[in-house]
Amino acid sequence: MNAPPSTYRPSTVHLKLGDGFGDVVRPARFPAHTLRVRHQPAAETVGLDHLDDAAWVDHFGRFEPLPGSLPEPLALRYHGHQFQHYNPDLGDGRGFLFAQLHEHGSGRILDLGTKGSGTTPWSRGGDGRLTLQGGVREVLAAELLEARGVPTCRIFSLIETGEHLHRHDEDSPTRSAVMVRLSHSHIRYGTFQRFSYLRDRERLEKLVDHVVEHYHPDLRDATDRPAALLRRVTDLACHTLGGWMAAGYVHGVLNTDNMNITGESFDYGPWRSAVDLDPTFTAAYFDHGGLYAYGRQPAAVRWNLTQLARALSLIGDDNTLQDAIADFNATYTRALTGAWLRRMGISTESELRDRAFVQRLVRVLTETRLPVDRFVYDWHGGGSATARALDGPLASLYKRQWFAPLRTALDARSPNPTAEQWVAAHPGPTSLHIDEVRKIWGHIAREDDWQPFYTKVAQIRTRRV
């Protein structure tokens, strides 16, 4: 590794948990390493922007340890509910915790975790690999959510690895990759569930103390740490959930092992960006009952928090823990209201007026199925956007009687300070629906043409959609 800058501050804080939380593993050896994505802005936040491409591949394709961080990768142990069915045989099956670093400026701990880095004790017969198509989709999802202000991991690195993989849901054989994501924490709800399932009070208490000490230190003096932590995790989950809903985003697999204690969304498998606010819109082809459909995401997140409360009840009072999530609906409503106002470029007024406005907006979009990204572009800035909206392709709809109450409400709202700048940066709405995702992948699969992918990522970052 080249001499690191002063902004590089490694950590090994996860090792303080001791044994029982993960397993030392060896990364896979790949026949090739072709660097496809390096997230340079993310690298700057942890002092790794100085790496040349060869050193980057050494660390994030061959997984040579970063100086001062974890000496060996750790496959983390956890359980979880998958589609609300408990699975005690989970864990990092094709990934591991590779390194921990302190973020420049904030000092908070960030994890570098992998996907597609080889088999582990938790692979359950799988090959531990990631398809290149899956990696491309993860990059696009994370970029879209970050641009829309939703807490998310960042895809730090994507390296094509030269293997041919067979998958039933892709044209096989398909190309392989190894991915590294940067996130605040990879400690999941399922990590707590595992120790509750094993009736391991000592490690569960140790885990709670570790999370409070290193991720939520303002809770150190709480008299009831499990309840205080659950209340904080609930707030964070609601904030992310509100962002998903305002973004028209469908995660697809909201299992308890896919939610973490710092609130970022991650693990972007069969995600979709909705064209309109259809409550029944489902992302995963295998979600036959629509358990994780767009409109059921709030119920899914609350259900997951309830499972976390049950896990913590091994060391905490069940009634107090239930009280910690009792305000879920109110907390989520506030988060949803704020997320919609930010996306619409509209200033806040009062909690009551803001909530009523967003409820009307969501009701009209849901009932009429107006294309949500077009609508956001047309009316970004509230009353200041009227002329633009009535000069656009949906003007005839906006002039109809059924739209009149919402138009009146929009006309009455003032733009926020960034609305004018946002409009200037957007020649039109920016979307990322499944047809475009497939088209971007088609260029890569057929012609090894990465330009449409890089262009889309640059567009998303520039426009902050």
Per residue, the 3-state secondary structure of 199-223, as one string, reads CCHHHHHHHHHHHHHHHCHHHCCCC
At 463 the pLDDT is 80
Residue 361 tokens read as: 């907006």
At 136 the pLDDT is 98
* Cβ contacts of 227 within 8 Å, gap of 6 or more: 312, 316, 317, 320, 321, 323, 324
Asked if 298 contacts 290 with a C-beta cutoff of 8 angstroms, the reply is no
Banded pLDDT at 1 (limits 50, 70, 90):
low
Mean pLDDT of 386-401: 96
Distance CA 411, CA 184 (A): 40
Asked if 381 contacts 420 with a C-beta cutoff of 8 angstroms, the reply is yes
Q: Is the predicted pLDDT of residue 3 greater than 80, yes or no? A: no
Express the helix, strand and coil content of the chain in percent, nearest 5 each: 45, 15, 40
Q: Is the predicted pLDDT of residue 464 greater than 90, yes or no? A: no
Q: Is the predicted pLDDT of residue 208 greater than 80, yes or no? A: yes
At 465 the pLDDT is 59
Mean pLDDT of 207-221: 97
Q: What is the pTM of this model?
A: 0.95
- SS3 of residue 167 by DSSP: coil
Residue 143 tokens read as: 């970029």
At 2 the pLDDT is 62
Banded pLDDT at 169 (limits 50, 70, 90):
confident
54-94: pLDDT as tens digits = 999 999 999 999 999 999 999 999 999 999 999 999 999 99
Banded pLDDT at 448 (limits 50, 70, 90):
very high
Indicate the Cα dihedral angle 112, 117, 121, 126, nearest 10°. 130
Q: Which residues are catalytic?
A: 257
Query: Phi first, then psi: what are they for 266, rounded to 5°?
Result: -160, 180
Most distant CA pair in the chain, distance? 66
Residue 246 tokens read as: 């305002």
Distance CA 425, CA 274 (A): 23
- SS3 of residue 183 by DSSP: strand
8-56: pLDDT as tens digits = 999 999 999 999 999 999 999 999 999 999 999 999 999 999 999 999 9
Q: Where are the alpha helices (DSSP H) in 73-158?
A: 132-147
Q: Which residue has 């190309």 as its token pair?
A: 175
Radius of gyration of the chain (CA): 22
Banded pLDDT at 168 (limits 50, 70, 90):
confident
Mean pLDDT of 448-460: 97
Q: Which residue has 């572009």 as its token pair?
A: 377
DSSP string over 359-400: HHHHHHHHHH---HHHHHHHHTTGGGGHHHHTTSTTHHHHTS
Query: Phi first, then psi: what are they for 10, rounded to 5°?
Result: -75, 165
312-339: pLDDT as tens digits = 999 999 999 999 999 999 999 999 999 9
Amino acid occupying residue 159: I
Mean pLDDT of 198-205: 98
